[in-house]
Amino acid sequence: MFAFLLLLYAELGEIIYLAQMLQREFSFLELTFQAPGVGYCSIGLLKMVVLAVKRDSIAELVQNLRDVWDQSIITVEHKKICENVMKPAIFNTTLTAVVNFAMGISFTVLPIAEMIYHYALTGRWVRQLPFLIWWPFDPLSGNKYFLVYPLYIVIGFSAIIIHMAFDCLFCILTAHICMNFRILEHDFENLKSSSDINETSESVRILVEKHQRLDKFKEAVDGIFRFTLCYNFFVSSIIICIQGFMVTAASGYTLIKFALFLASFLVELFLLCFYGQDVSESSSKVAQAAYNCSWYNESKKFRQLILQIIMKAQQPLVLMAWKFWPVNIMTFSNILSASWSYFTLLRTVYYK
């Protein structure tokens, strides 16, 4: 709750500071420096609210996936599939954490290093703040500075942690769904005939039910994440554009800050879109696997069940960012394309 209130104050403070800046003379670089922070905090606040409001749905989905895990990971081949999916997912989420924490350090700690460096050169302390927020007092004066600066660090890392928590949760949940689709694909391809027709049909029925259950899991993920992903994609296209511009205009340690900020957004968006794409591809492969089993030698009931799963799986499951964007690599490409268009427009305006 404390982190939420701090982040909420930071968002309001950045908006007030931005509004006050627009009422006086300001440089274009000042505007582009302030705007991404507003967008970043707003996404963080929305993610925090969604995780709180949807916590019961998330807990239910996690429990369902845990139950399916116990039922699905049976053979050595199943364990290999699990490792092939989950190990990269853990690595990718760890990489996201490293990039985000590096970005957090660059914003909150590097100003301290710059102040020390400036003091070593000139013998004077020039107080700085990591980013710009409106305060009802002068945060640079007196002992207030030593109270305010730690709050900036807490605000910065609170925003980073909530971004990471939301994104990593999405990636891990979708990775579990992909893993189960690949196990389902393996089970269809290795479906064995039995002398007992009823036993063989029962095996297929169980696989069909597993596919239906995975379809419901995808719908649950959609229900939890879709609106936030839509807002995230929209705001990110603008922030990537501005950060790209700042990278070309900045120098010194500020260049490191903006480059890491840009990298964190690119990594985040790529992972979200990558796992959305993986869900679609994994679900579509089930149809081919079902067709590859020896259905032509089986009973009519068996063939009807196989036909049912083929018809259903031929339509890949698509995670949606609300109703506007499918969560896949094409959307990632479109966001980068839009950001590039905004970037060229910004450069034209700035250098005109």
Residue 195 has pLDDT above 60, yes or no: no
Q: What is the pLDDT of residues 139-173, one digit of tens each?
A: 998 899 999 999 999 999 999 999 999 999 999 99
| Cβ–Cβ < 8 Å for 217, 61 | yes
Residue 196 has pLDDT above 70, yes or no: no
Task: Work out the pLDDT band at 31, boundaries 50, 70, 90.
Answer: confident
Q: What pLDDT is recorded for position 348?
A: 82
Higher pLDDT, 346 or 195: 346
**C-alpha–C-alpha distance, residues 77 and 284, integer Å:** 20
Task: Work out the pLDDT band at 32, boundaries 50, 70, 90.
Answer: confident
Higher pLDDT, 200 or 151: 151
Task: Work out the pLDDT band at 193, boundaries 50, 70, 90.
Answer: low
Task: Work out the pLDDT band at 290, boundaries 50, 70, 90.
Answer: confident
Q: What pLDDT is recorded for position 119?
A: 87
Of 63-77, 239-253, 277-291, give the lowest mean pLDDT range. 239-253
Q: What is the pLDDT of residues 107-139, one digit of tens each?
A: 888 888 889 988 888 888 888 888 889 999 999
Q: What pLDDT is recorded for position 180?
A: 95
Average pLDDT of the chain is 89
Of 51-55, 252-256, 264-268, 336-340, give the lowest mean pLDDT range. 252-256
Q: How would you write the chain as a 3-class SS string?
A: CHHHHHHHHHHHHHHHHHHHHHCCCCCHHHHHHHHHHHHHHHHHHHHHHHHHHCHHHHHHHHHHHHHHHHHHCCCHHHHHHHHHHHHHHHHHHHHHHHHHHHHHHHHHCHHHHHHHHHHHHHCCCCCCCCCCCCCCCCCCCCCHHHHHHHHHHHHHHHHHHHHHHHHHHHHHHHHHHHHHHHHHHHHHHCCCCCCCHHHHHHHHHHHHHHHHHHHHHHHHHHHHHHHHHHHHHHHHHHHHHHHHHHHHHCCCHHHHHHHHHHHHHHHHHHHHHHHHHHHHHHHHHHHHHHHHCCHHHCCHHHHHHHHHHHHHHCCCCCCEECCCEECCHHHHHHHHHHHHHHHHHHHHHHHC
Residue 188 has pLDDT above 60, yes or no: yes
